[in-house]
Structure 1
Amino acid sequence: MRVLFSTLTAYGHFFQVLPLAVAAHRAGHHVTFATGEVRHKLLTELGLDVVKAGGETEELVAEAARTVGVPPPSEQKAPDRAAMELISREFCRLAPKSYVDDLLPEFERSRPDLVVHASYNPGAGLAAKVAGIPALCHASGRVRPADDYLMVMSEDVLREYATELGLELPATYTTYLGHPYLDICPRSLQDQDFVAACGDLRSELRPVGFNTPGELPAWVRERAQSRPLVYLTLGTESDNRVLQMMRETIAGLSSLDVDVFVATPKLADELGTLPDNVRVERWVAQAELLPHVDLVVQHGGNGTTFGALGSGIPQLFLQNLPGPDQLLNAGMVCDAGAGERLKHEEVTEATVATAARRLLSDPECVAAAKEIARQVAEMPSPDEVARRLPEYAG
């Protein structure tokens, strides 16, 4: 069977969908992955065919900013709320259109039997609808509430664009296009209104981390197991606020009787001399690291959050100008009793040390994290779902 997968290029969307694409290839399906060129080298190395579709996510954001006449976001200065809403609204039209424009000619050349589009890439799903190809929507994380202002705005824009394409979309949860929904969020953590609205269209898919090339540092395997290992990552951001948070957090964590693994691709050279119990790497094979970790300290990205959920690890969220997904993820984990959250202005050496100490020693928090991991383990694996893909193609 010919299956086309499509995501935005951003890490939190691309790497959530990649495990199923690889599993589909392993199951014998002919897999093509349609996304920006920045991901093509890795996809080709994995044996998947590639198609250029859409643009790089950062480029699309910059183009949206230019179109509405405001400065694009940068590491030095984030736009104010009004400007960000203008950019977001334009992006919600620009990104889907770029995928539709690229994929419709591709579907004429090589028509797939099934399209699997990420939940934040409705453009690929719209192209499938126009071409009459069955499609699946692959989750990126927990869904936003139906009344979330960003959800409402994006749905309004998407319905307007769909009308131009001659399509009618569902009135609620429009961005998922009414397609069957592969949910990587355990039912107990998912928005229950969404679960009820989806009904039989929702099926579960175990979130599985994908290891980017690179070996786990030998010291992680060789370290003494007598004290906890804390993993700190604040994603790929690198502005001054993040650097200050990183320094305060390292100071707080290193004051405890723990080993600290810091992953930061851009700030490694800015951290200065570090305590003996702190190691810094620019990149890490996260899925390979997590089984060794006792506490994750992070910003709330989808990949790290769901990786920690599946590994049964308590989480401490440090929220620095967070995007909606980061807020949702932090709230989801904290409400389940498996983590805590500190806002940017609350992050100090003392508050981090106190929160980390509590999360490492609180049996109820550890038990809550283990219970979530048990639920994740019961969800169908990517290999199981890959074997069932022909059912979705009809």
Structure 2
Amino acid sequence: MSKILFLSQPMFGHFNPLFSMALQMQADGHEVEFMIPGRKEVNSNIGTLKNAAAIPKIIRKNGIPVELISIPIPLAATFLFATSLAPKLSGYNELEFLMGFLPTGLKYITEQAIRYIERSRPDAIATDYTFLASYLAAEVTQVPCAVIYQTGLPFRGKSIPPFGSGLPIREDYATFGSEFVRKEKAVLARLDRKVNRVRSQFGLPDFPAEFWRQPYSQWLNLVTSIPVIEAPRDRLTDNTFFVGPCFSNRSGKTSDFPFEQLRRDRYKIYVSFGTMSNDRPHVLRKIMKALARPEYQVIISAGTAYSKLVRERIPENVLLFSSVPQVDLLPQIDLAIIHGGNNTTNETLAAGKPAIVMPIAGEQGDNASRVEYLGVGLRLNIERFDEHDLLAKVQTIQSNSAFQYRANELKAALDITKGSATASALIHQLARTQKAVMRSCSVPEAYPTVFL
């Protein structure tokens, strides 16, 4: 059996797939542990800090050791400023900001990770693709590292527009999206310079140009998706595997949600804007007003907005919660209105549900384009929609069986995947061989389903 160190950003969107893999590896008999940036004394109601404090508790509750990367107060304050400002931005402005901020603290966190790796001596590392420090630390210590991508969105393809642009998926995107093409080149060039500057301080060679748009681990890249729910990608490496969604072992763990209140005689609409940018009570009020009709039941996971909305008069057909067991709830509803985060989008597709995507920022616009490209939903501008716009889109999906038919097709393809088990097997092979895991020769046929 292997010893695997998982390194994650302290944000649920990045943590959840890694946690599912860790639970699977633990069940398979491997020794697993986590390392996450954080401070022990944090106790806050601020959304990002609250989430960051909750993640280590969840890990320990499942019997997995966790090491905190202690962040100095000045650097922690910088992170807090960035995570507080980012949700207030929208569209490509938020992506530009976050990509510029990504290398902040990279040298310090890499040093802390190196020290712990040398002390812990894992057989392999698994990390989220945005957590660059863990990959640099793996290169320095020469511990093989699997890099995890929630979707194929960062990767290039013939019809794929610039990452984070939210442009439609079509081959002629450059003719009407030239501004985003120019912006992306500048953003990626700045990221390359900043990251390579830190790499040189550790004696590492430069990353390839625009490394962000390709799988960058020399050992193993795992995508928790499958090609049928992606637009075609190219230039993928032979050590890149689409393993399928990784969340099945996070379901069935919540028993206090009132599932008995869900109405069989109503068209059930689930609304969620994720865990990072969910303080949007004005948007939820408009949604509730638009859907205050007797034929609908609306289930809202309001996040930070819950404390404001719960004091108000809520329509009788609305069930309002601060959070819900999303993986378990999605199969019980008919339509999802979502922000388009990677995990929520994949979980909605895996549940076989159509979606209306109201992207806020980051990759969410790209997921809205993906949902439309796949024929399983529609997009709606979260800043400029009115009640009539939303109701019209709900009624379009409700009355047109093609959306549900296509969602069922994708669900059938996803049902045969074993994402967590496949990831566990591939990471174990990486740990056992200490060599890159390649599609061409080193994956035994006995592995669970792997989409190549």
TM-score category, normalised to shorter length: 0.7 to 0.9
What is the CA distance between 1:82 and its match in structure 2?
Answer: 7.6
Query: Which of residues 100, 120, 143 is equivalent to 1:133?
Result: 143
What is the CA distance between 1:202 and its match in structure 2?
Answer: 1.4
Amino acid across the alignment from 1:24 = M
What corresponds to 1:257 in structure 2? 295
Structure 1 residues 281 and 82: alpha-carbon distance in aligned structure 2, compared to 1, 3 A threshold: closer
Matches within 5 A, 1:151-230: 151-168=188-205, 169-174=207-212, 176-190=216-230, 192-193=232-233, 196-209=234-247, 210-211=250-251, 214-218=254-258, 220-221=259-260, 223-230=262-269
What corresponds to 2:11 in structure 1? 10
What corresponds to 1:235 in structure 2? 274
Query: Does the CA-based 8 Å contact 2:146-2:217 persist in structure 1?
Result: no
Amino acid across the alignment from 1:159 = N
Separation of aligned partners in 2, 1:268 and 1:131: 45
What is the CA distance between 1:153 and its match in structure 2?
Answer: 3.7
- Secondary structure of the 1:5 match is strand
Query: Does the CA-based 8 Å contact 2:338-2:355 persist in structure 1?
Result: yes
TM-score normalized with structure 1 length: 0.87
- Secondary structure of the 2:154 match is coil
Q: Which runs of 5+ in 1 are unaligned?
A: none
Q: Which has the larger share of helix?
A: 1
What corresponds to 2:118 in structure 1? 108
Query: Which of residues 63, 82, 92 is equivalent to 2:78?
Result: 63
Amino acid across the alignment from 2:8 = T
Amino acid across the alignment from 1:5 = F
More relative contact order, 1 or 2 (CA 8 Å, 6+ apart): 2
**Root mean square deviation, CA, Å:** 2.9
- Secondary structure of the 1:254 match is coil
Query: 106-115 or 224-233: which moved more?
Result: 224-233
Alignment partner of 1:307 is 2:308: no
Q: Which runs of 5+ in 2 are unaligned?
A: 39-52, 157-161, 164-183, 434-452
Query: Which of residues 113, 118, 125 is equivalent to 2:128?
Result: 118
- Secondary structure of the 2:291 match is helix
What corresponds to 2:107 in structure 1? 97
Could you tell me the percent identity over the aligned residues? 21
Separation of aligned partners in 2, 1:84 and 1:334: 21
Amino acid across the alignment from 2:134 = A
TM-score normalized with structure 2 length: 0.76
Query: Does the CA-based 8 Å contact 1:3-1:30 persist in structure 2?
Result: yes
Separation of aligned partners in 1, 2:296 and 2:140: 55
What corresponds to 1:33 in structure 2? 34
Separation of aligned partners in 1, 2:229 and 2:361: 19
What is the CA distance between 1:92 and its match in structure 2?
Answer: 2.1
- Secondary structure of the 1:176 match is coil
Alignment partner of 1:73 is 2:85: yes
What is the CA distance between 1:83 and its match in structure 2?
Answer: 9.5
Separation of aligned partners in 2, 1:353 and 1:104: 53
Amino acid across the alignment from 1:324 = G
Structure 1 residues 93 and 311: alpha-carbon distance in aligned structure 2, compared to 1, 3 A threshold: same
- Secondary structure of the 1:346 match is coil
Structure 1 residues 79 and 294: alpha-carbon distance in aligned structure 2, compared to 1, 3 A threshold: closer
Query: 244-253 or 375-384: which moved more?
Result: 375-384
What corresponds to 1:43 in structure 2? 59
Amino acid across the alignment from 2:404 = V
Alignment partner of 1:351 is 2:366: no
What is the CA distance between 1:370 and its match in structure 2?
Answer: 1.6
Separation of aligned partners in 2, 1:80 and 1:340: 17
What corresponds to 1:285 in structure 2? 325
Deviations 1:185-215 (A, max 9, x none): 221343534xx32242111222133359643
Deviations 1:153-175 (A, max 9, x none): 43342233222222222334347
